Amino acid sequence: MGTQSDIKLIDENGLRLDGRSAGDLRPIRIEAGVLERADGSAMIEWGGNKIVVAVYGPREAYPKHNQDINRAIVKARYNMAAFSVDERKRPGPDRRSIEISKVLSEALSAAIMVEQFPRAQIDVFIEVLQADAGTRIAGLTASSVAIADAGIPMRDFVTGCTAGKVDGKVVLDLSKEEDNFGQADLPVAVLPKSGKIVLMQMDGDLSVEEFDTATSMIMNAIPRINEIQRNALSSRVKVEGGGGE
Amino acid sequence: MGTQSDIKLIDENGLRLDGRSAGDLRPIRIEAGVLERADGSAMIEWGGNKIVVAVYGPREAYPKHNQDINRAIVKARYNMAAFSVDERKRPGPDRRSIEISKVLSEALSAAIMVEQFPRAQIDVFIEVLQADAGTRIAGLTASSVAIADAGIPMRDFVTGCTAGKVDGKVVLDLSKEEDNFGQADLPVAVLPKSGKIVLMQMDGDLSVEEFDTATSMIMNAIPRINEIQRNALSSRVKVEGGGGE
Amino acid sequence: MGTQSDIKLIDENGLRLDGRSAGDLRPIRIEAGVLERADGSAMIEWGGNKIVVAVYGPREAYPKHNQDINRAIVKARYNMAAFSVDERKRPGPDRRSIEISKVLSEALSAAIMVEQFPRAQIDVFIEVLQADAGTRIAGLTASSVAIADAGIPMRDFVTGCTAGKVDGKVVLDLSKEEDNFGQADLPVAVLPKSGKIVLMQMDGDLSVEEFDTATSMIMNAIPRINEIQRNALSSRVKVEGGGGE
Amino acid sequence: MPRDELGILSEIKKGYILRQLKEGKRGDGRTPDQFRSAEIKIDYVKRAPGSAYVELGKTRIVAGVKVEAGSPFPDTPNQGVLTTNVELLPMAFPTFEAGPPNESAIEVARVVDRGIRESKMIDLEALVIEPAQKVWIVFIDIDVLDFDGNLIDACTLGAVAALRSAVVNGSAAGKEDFRLPVRNTPVSVTMVKIGDNIVVDPDLEEEQISQARITVSTTEDGRIRAMQKGDNGWFTLDEIKKAISTSIDVGKQLREKYLK
Amino acid sequence: MPRDELGILSEIKKGYILRQLKEGKRGDGRTPDQFRSAEIKIDYVKRAPGSAYVELGKTRIVAGVKVEAGSPFPDTPNQGVLTTNVELLPMAFPTFEAGPPNESAIEVARVVDRGIRESKMIDLEALVIEPAQKVWIVFIDIDVLDFDGNLIDACTLGAVAALRSAVVNGSAAGKEDFRLPVRNTPVSVTMVKIGDNIVVDPDLEEEQISQARITVSTTEDGRIRAMQKGDNGWFTLDEIKKAISTSIDVGKQLREKYLK
Amino acid sequence: MPRDELGILSEIKKGYILRQLKEGKRGDGRTPDQFRSAEIKIDYVKRAPGSAYVELGKTRIVAGVKVEAGSPFPDTPNQGVLTTNVELLPMAFPTFEAGPPNESAIEVARVVDRGIRESKMIDLEALVIEPAQKVWIVFIDIDVLDFDGNLIDACTLGAVAALRSAVVNGSAAGKEDFRLPVRNTPVSVTMVKIGDNIVVDPDLEEEQISQARITVSTTEDGRIRAMQKGDNGWFTLDEIKKAISTSIDVGKQLREKYLK
């Protein structure tokens, strides 16, 4: 987690810089079917994040020696556009994006009925056009909409959210400033029907009690985010959350 | 095109730094069959350019999934030797040489009877030993001699020439200084029998009228250059152009 | 060879910085079977060198177009750990390690009965954990123990040693300082039964007479080093050489 | 660019398109000289000083402009630096692959770059902070999200729109925010040859069956700034001259509609 | 990590392991919460200021710490730099390949790095030589020689032991030799889920048949500093909570035994 | 180097060559100790301060020397820098591939480099412009255009001839043009073993059927400066000693003929 700062991130009323309370989400908007060529696609705007996801497949895995004779391979590729962050990002994968691609692939594999597509590959391309904290979770949440849009059978959605610690307080869905100057970041993704955890990473400093509070907040938010996913697929668009007054 | 300069590139008599008139070519010399291992080869000296070309093929395209079942793939590889330019060039392809290789491949594909060699590949390796403006055109002009030397059937030669604008005046076959300090560069290659244009690039600043003048000059020079190509194949060597008095 | 230095590397009694005489070896210790996964393995400590070697194979050569239908391919990969030298070494092969890998592969090919394993590949991974002059020879000497440990049939061991010139005098088995400030370095490896030379490199400045002295010293040391190799395979460990008093 | 890789265009369909073209008709009802209508959203990416989203048919790209302080090239100590990169994202087409730009992506980037550079749209001399030491580096990065033909023109439109709208944070040079020194408005117009017909702004189907491509970049003064012939076919000189004149005409329309 | 690539684990064997686990027994006789006994040799490589050889089961790694003077990152001018690299050497397993670190090697390195970085084990502020100009760069490089499961914990143990024992040559900054400014002792504990059972410190066989992996890094104050869930399976929240408590307990034992 | 990759050498031909060699005859009529006659053109490339074209049999190479001002290596602050690169161009042989130098190209470059470096042909101490700050960097780049055996000697001849003839533009250091400080004339002589015969300057056919290769680089004082044994075969010590003496003799002839 980032360095200390003099900025007070939570005011005396418990409100955050953008006016949210501890348990509030930023506005989330998902649209499915935004691309022509891809088999499935989705665009998500989550706070200041703007991420487009395209799905191709199931198609024959290539090269052949990578094929799994029992199930489809899910390959997520998380990538940040050069202009998506304040300082220009050099094109191409770095160690961070390779790790994120790995954990996103694993999380999606748990939801997709991979056993129906032996020897196949499902590609999920996640392009971050504008980054604003929580990109992996936002990209993953959009990915399961794009996979559904592609007509690929899933046991359930994958729905994610982060919590973290800011000014010593556990809060939901960190903003960029909270991520930069906070004390912990905990991205989690679940299968919302069962609450099974398919992605969890943490860095920072949390006591066991703080961890419990953070995961409660996340579990509490998951149904709201999943509803936005469902609505996107019913080709409706809904704006959720936003502001804490 | 390059930056402005105080050098006067054309004198009061309309003569250029090397004494040529606007429509004069630099000396050109082509020799075919200069290498042992290649299936066909040629060396061209054009002004201060010194370029060797080797052709291999038709041979089976590799990897196989690149094969075209209807025709041969033509792969030109334009490369500058580390010592070919004033400042040492790092070995290996850069973006410029990759683009040039692409347009040269396309120009040669238009001339070679590619439909006679399904699934095959024809490699044309163009090594610039000494660069002096107009290397792509010189390399391309030598390439069709090397392809003929390899016995690969062609509809016609590919014959190229550049024109450009210097001190506001349209001239043929830019020299290094004219290329560096001129206002436009227009490399063109044609099938000389029909005048069909198979390569054309331009950068700089040309009016429509200037473009017409430039292409007239080029079309005018093409038969002279093609004659040098033909002579090289009749295993004779001829020096053309040179000086403008 | 390195630059001149003011350090006197050989004293008035003919003794070297570490107390050895001209023909003395540094202490050598080899242990076979040190790794679980590899088909064969060995660890060598030779002076301050600490090198581990793992052997995999014979296994099918991959990719297939690399296969030799008459014999096994031997691929040694010499690699220095980032922490093995004074200044951190960037991970990955450099030109030096690629050349060393080539000459080690060739030396081992001369000893292994490669004709018994057509289409196969034998991988020999040589990891230098701590470097102290003579790493290629130490790694090669350990390699033939690891190959024997893997049960791969060999005509003979490969046994190596270096000689060099220090303060104008020919000496055996250069130390780090002698390598840095000496006038010649001559690594040699032989099949000890026959004395056939399978690796020889030299750099520096040697007269023909000095070369003869150096190779005599090496040939003289080979049986002692080979005995340590043999002992390692008899699952005994022996310390040889060390000190010159 | 991929040629008929989808296998969706049978010979029958090719014949149909050709017959239609002979009558001056195109698959989507356009005339040969007609550009598709485009949608351009500037300031699409807030973190970039300049950006634009362009939809041309179903071709979708995002162009972002970043401006950072850095060193000039040794041979142009008194000029800022301009660099253009195009990413043909694997999401944009089934056969596009992840990895460093291939020859197609490099060609698109270099043709876009030449149109902008040779028109002298950006006054690079005005981007010097300290001569020979520190200049502004203008990075144009373009993400291709969806591919439906004519990338060069879509990317040029996006890059030019992003440059025109950019507001640069000057603090890295101790200066106020500033707009890029824009002098003119280059536009590229790309045409392909199908049989004996030449059509403007080809869509994916047209690109897949065309023999040759020509791009002409012009400025509002009607001057030619860059050209690029592509693909394995050929043009006659007359066809090229006609293409230049079409480019000047269509370029005017595009400037009028999208870049005022 | 490779999953059953050796083909040595038949379905029969899997069933056997599962039945055994139901009775709380593991292949090598350990209880589910039991770490294998490790061997750690510090100062294993004399040319590195800090180093450690770790043997955990038959997993064997060497961690080396190098410290060099260099430039700080622009956004943290008042901090030293910490960097962690793990090489899955091809000698360590039949299917490991030479080349730059793949996604598995990168994940191990980044999880090890996070445990150390987020615990603030090394006081990076104390590693500044000249603010914004020159700081100490701490390179943690780990060679994996032999692979028998649970690389993350073996590598974390090695890295922490090497950092704790390092004595840095200060001459590059005109200073005396010094120890790294160590503030605490992070330990990672990794568990995998096999059927409904969760076991600590999996060996190779257990990793190959497990569905999901969870790593929890803690410090001696019982606080969580880093976590990573891996593999295609899932955990319930209760399983995670149990894993955290196990990690704190086992972490204490490891610190007591190996990092005093 | 490729070994019989053309498939042109049947076992019958091999047998024939061997029988001929037993009688001291080679395919092109040379004696075992005879070098092919070479053609060397210096100043072949005008843009390089030094250059040479070498034809040895049908092996054709161009060596170019560039000299640029740059930083010295930290551990040799009072020396210029010498670097040698060899490109086995795909034009030179059917199986040579484009791309970064492979192990064969690297070996050739390093053996050529060692012969020049260890003979101290170039006085690197004389190439310092400002100690520890700025030195002359000598780049030797070699293009292999056509491959007919014995690259090491062809490349060494070309590199040495180019270095001897180089006239450097001194303006980058505010100096006059100057010749490189050349102290002696290293020559490499390469031999291969075919059966029990050792032949000098092998051509392609001989390289393809040989078991082992030895290169010895010497200076005019008859001293050995670099050696390299290559390929999967072996030499006896006596064979090596004979090769050294041959190298000294042949080296004298080469210096006399081509490097006066």
- DSSP letter string over C74-107? EEEEEEE-TTSSSSPPPSS--HHHHHHHHHHHHH
Partners of residue A198 in chain E, C-beta under 8 Å: 229, 234
Helix (H) or strand (E) holding F254: helix F237-258
The count of CB pairs under 8 A between chains C and F is: 89
ipTM of the predicted assembly exceeds 0.85: yes
Judged against a pLDDT cut of 60, whether residue C115 lies above it is answered with yes
pLDDT score recorded for residue E8? 53
| Cross-chain CB nearest to D60 (options A35, A48, A130) | A35
For an interface test with F, the pick among C66, C203, C212, C213 (most F C-beta atoms closer than 10 Å) comes out as C203
CA dihedral F12, F18, F21, F23 (to 10 degrees): -80
CA distance to partner chain B, nearest, from residue D221 (Å): 9
The count of CB pairs under 8 A between chains A and E is: 90
Residue F61 forms beta bridges with which residues? F54, F144
pLDDT score recorded for residue D13? 77
Query: Cα(F226)–Cα(F237) distance, rounded to whole angstroms?
Result: 16
Looking only at the bridges linking them, the beta strands covering F81-88 and F59-70 are unpaired
State the total domains in chain F. 1
Query: Cα(E23)–Cα(E16) distance, rounded to whole angstroms?
Result: 11
CA distance to partner chain D, nearest, from residue A33 (Å): 12
Domain B28-230 bears CATH identifier 3.30.230.10: no
CA distance to partner chain A, nearest, from residue D221 (Å): 32
Looking only at the bridges linking them, the beta strands covering B196-206 and C49-60 are unpaired
Query: Cα(B170)–Cα(B212) distance, rounded to whole angstroms?
Result: 10
Judged against a pLDDT cut of 60, whether residue D4 lies above it is answered with no
Question: Do the Cβ atoms of A203 and E114 come within 8 Å?
Answer: yes
Query: Cα(D220)–Cα(F195) distance, rounded to whole angstroms?
Result: 77
For residue E119, what are the domain limits? Answer: 3-258
Question: Do the Cβ atoms of F106 and C99 come within 8 Å?
Answer: yes
Query: Cα(A98)–Cα(A102) distance, rounded to whole angstroms?
Result: 6
Strands, E assignment, E90-180: 128-130, 134-146, 167-168, 178-179
Whole-angstrom CA distances from E138 to A2, A3, E70, E113, F74 are 19, 19, 10, 12, 20
For an interface test with A, the pick among D1, D145, D155 (most A C-beta atoms closer than 10 Å) comes out as D145
Strands, E assignment, chain A: 28-32, 40-46, 49-60, 73-80, 120-130, 159-166, 169-172, 184-191, 196-206
For an interface test with D, the pick among B197, B220, B222 (most D C-beta atoms closer than 10 Å) comes out as B197
Q: Are residues D201 and D210 in contact, defined by beta-carbon separation less than 8 angstroms?
A: no
User: Could you tell me the CATH number of the domain that includes residue E42?
Assistant: 3.30.230.70
Query: Cα(F121)–Cα(C191) distance, rounded to whole angstroms?
Result: 35
Helix (H) or strand (E) holding B73: strand B73-80
Neighbours of chain B (3+ CB pairs under 8 A): D, F
Q: Are residues D160 and D37 in contact, defined by beta-carbon separation less than 8 angstroms?
A: no
Residue D159 forms beta bridges with which residues? none
Amino acid at D125: E
Partners of residue E223 in chain A, C-beta under 8 Å: 205-207
Helix (H) or strand (E) holding E41: strand E38-42
pLDDT score recorded for residue D1? 47
Is B140 an interface residue toward D (CB < 8 Å)? Answer: no
> Is E20 in a helix, a strand, or coil?
helix
Average pLDDT over residues D175-192: 97
Q: Model confidence over E44-97: pLDDT tens digits?
A: 999 999 999 999 999 999 999 999 999 999 999 999 999 999 999 999 999 999
Query: Cα(B179)–Cα(B201) distance, rounded to whole angstroms?
Result: 14
CA dihedral C52, C58, C64, C67 (to 10 degrees): 100
| Cross-chain CB nearest to A37 (options D48, D92, D139) | D92
Residues in chain C: 245
Query: Cα(C58)–Cα(C61) distance, rounded to whole angstroms?
Result: 9
Residue A123 forms beta bridges with which residues? A56, A75
> What mean pLDDT, rounded, does chain C reach?
93
Question: Do the Cβ atoms of F98 and B54 come within 8 Å?
Answer: no
Q: Are residues C1 and C184 in contact, defined by beta-carbon separation less than 8 angstroms?
A: yes
Judged against a pLDDT cut of 50, whether residue B243 lies above it is answered with no
| Cross-chain CB nearest to F103 (options C1, C98, C212) | C98
Partners of residue B215 in chain D, C-beta under 8 Å: 237, 240
Instruction: Calculate Rg over the CA atoms of chain F.
Output: 19
Query: Cα(A88)–Cα(D71) distance, rounded to whole angstroms?
Result: 16
Categorize the per-residue pLDDT at C4 as very low, low, confident or very high, splitting at 50, 70 and 90.
low
Looking only at the bridges linking them, the beta strands covering A159-166 and A169-172 are antiparallel
Question: Do the Cβ atoms of E58 and C37 come within 8 Å?
Answer: yes
Residue C189 forms beta bridges with which residues? C160, C199
Categorize the per-residue pLDDT at B235 as very low, low, confident or very high, splitting at 50, 70 and 90.
low
Query: Cα(C187)–Cα(B139) distance, rounded to whole angstroms?
Result: 46
> What mean pLDDT, rounded, does chain A reach?
93
pLDDT score recorded for residue B236? 38
Partners of residue E145 in chain C, C-beta under 8 Å: 35, 52, 54, 127
Neighbours of chain A (3+ CB pairs under 8 A): D, E
CA distance to partner chain C, nearest, from residue E174 (Å): 17
Model confidence, pTM: 0.95
Q: Model confidence over A212-235: pLDDT tens digits?
A: 999 999 999 999 999 999 999 996
Q: Of C53, C5, C55, C60, nearest to C30 (Cα)? A: C53
Partners of residue B208 in chain D, C-beta under 8 Å: 222, 224, 241, 244-245, 248
Query: Cα(F162)–Cα(A114) distance, rounded to whole angstroms?
Result: 63
Q: Of E75, E80, E98, nearest to E140 (Cα)? A: E80
pLDDT score recorded for residue D165? 97
pLDDT score recorded for residue D10? 62
Question: Do the Cβ atoms of B127 and F145 come within 8 Å?
Answer: yes
Measured between CA atoms, the residue of chain A closest to residue E246 is: A208
Give the N- to C-terminal CA distance of chain F in Å, as an integer: 31
Q: Model confidence over D224-256: pLDDT tens digits?
A: 999 999 999 999 999 999 999 999 999 999 999
C-alpha F247 chain-centroid distance: 13
Categorize the per-residue pLDDT at D188 as very low, low, confident or very high, splitting at 50, 70 and 90.
very high
Is A115 an interface residue toward E (CB < 8 Å)? Answer: no
Question: Do the Cβ atoms of F45 and B50 come within 8 Å?
Answer: yes
Judged against a pLDDT cut of 90, whether residue E12 lies above it is answered with no
Instruction: Calculate Rg over the CA atoms of chain E.
Output: 19
Measured between CA atoms, the residue of chain A closest to residue E221 is: A207
Categorize the per-residue pLDDT at E9 as very low, low, confident or very high, splitting at 50, 70 and 90.
low
Q: Are residues B175 and B26 in contact, defined by beta-carbon separation less than 8 angstroms?
A: yes
> Is B173 in a helix, a strand, or coil?
coil
pLDDT tens for chain F, residues 1 to 260:
455 444 555 677 788 888 899 888 998 999 999 999 999 999 999 999 999 999 999 999 999 999 999 999 999 999 999 999 999 999 999 999 999 999 999 999 999 999 999 999 999 999 999 999 999 999 999 999 999 999 999 999 999 999 999 999 998 888 899 999 999 999 999 999 999 999 999 999 999 999 999 999 999 999 999 999 999 999 999 999 999 999 999 999 999 999 98
Question: Do the Cβ atoms of F118 and C204 come within 8 Å?
Answer: yes
Strands, E assignment, F11-58: 38-42, 50-56
Query: Cα(A85)–Cα(A132) distance, rounded to whole angstroms?
Result: 8
Question: Do the Cβ atoms of F92 and B37 come within 8 Å?
Answer: yes
Whole-angstrom CA distances from A114 to A33, A40, A108, D50, E214 are 22, 17, 10, 42, 22
Task: Write the DSSP string, C24-44.
Answer: PPPPEEEEE---SSSSEEEEE
Q: Model confidence over A17-34: pLDDT tens digits?
A: 999 999 999 999 999 999
DSSP code for A151: T
Judged against a pLDDT cut of 50, whether residue C236 lies above it is answered with no
Cβ-count burial E129-149 (b if 16+ within 10 Å, e if not): beeeeebbbbbbbbbbbbbbb
Question: Do the Cβ atoms of D225 and B204 come within 8 Å?
Answer: yes
DSSP code for D68: E
Amino acid at D61: I
Query: Cα(A200)–Cα(A184) distance, rounded to whole angstroms?
Result: 13
Query: Cα(F30)–Cα(F199) distance, rounded to whole angstroms?
Result: 10
